Amino acid sequence: MTDMAIKTETRIPMSRIQKLIGQRMLESKQTKPCYYIGIKADTTELMDSRHELKKRLGVKITSNAFYIKALGLAVREFPLMVGSLQGDSIKIADSINVGFAVSAPHGLVVPVVKEADKKTLAEIATLEKELTDKARSNKLTLEEITGETIGLSNLGVYDIDSFIGIVPPPATMILAVGNTLRAAVPKDGQITIRRITDLTIAVDSRVVPDPYAAKFLARIAELLQGLKQLIS
């Protein structure tokens, strides 16, 4: 008879935050019938501008700062993206508050940049760094993690090409940002190497018609590619 090694069962306790996030994501999947739309944005100028912008603005501009700013500006033009189902009507949120996912030692945390459309890129970059640091040191206040009206999750920093996010319960939409890859694309009659970023949105179909969301996502890509409106 062959001896068999006895495996020891390992249990990893979940933190309170992990349990809460799990419950909220389950609620979202069970109650929000979503559809998904993707687009590829040319972010060559955006990525190349960060060093110069750091010198000009005096603060490091992360890719998340650009996405938060782009979401804020795009929602101004497409307010239904921060709508929510209230009985037999849709209520448009009073402000554009972008919740962005941060991986912390104690679990996934979602700090919120309030009124993102009214802040400059430098203000968003400064606040995003402050909130990220506080999230990772478990020092966020209740005010800093509530009020989200639209979501952002960026896994491109982990070399994930593309993915689909789960819409957070308070919101109707989440933008999932994938990796930025170099690709050969036609430009001005020539083939050039450009940096292309994968963007995917998950949207509650009860609130937003898909053609409306498609135009919204195209506008985000346009803002990221044009860049000027993000830094003005």
Q: The CATH number of the domain where 198 resides is what?
A: 3.30.559.10
Distance CA(20)–CA(134), nearest Å, equals: 19
Domain limits at 178?
Answer: 34-231
Residue 5 lies in a domain: no
Does 13 map to a domain? no
pLDDT score of 160: 94
**Residue found under tokens 């979202």:** 28
Is there a domain that residue 107 lies in? Answer: yes
Residue type for position 79: P
Query: What pLDDT shows up at residue 3?
Result: 58
pLDDT of residue 20: 82
Which parts of the chain register pLDDT below 70?
Answer: 1-7
pLDDT value for 11: 85
Q: Is position 138 within any domain?
A: yes
What span, in angstroms and rounded, lies between the C-alpha atoms of 167 and 27? 10
62 occurs within a structural domain = yes
49-107 pLDDT, tens digit each: 998 999 999 999 999 999 999 999 999 999 999 999 998 999 999 999 999 999 988 78
What's the number of domains the chain is made of? 1
Is 10 within the bounds of a domain?
no
Is residue 25 in a domain? no
Pairing type for strands 150-154 and 173-187 reads: parallel
Give pLDDT, residue 5. Answer: 64
Question: pTM of this prediction?
Answer: 0.91
The answer to whether residue 190 is domain-embedded is yes
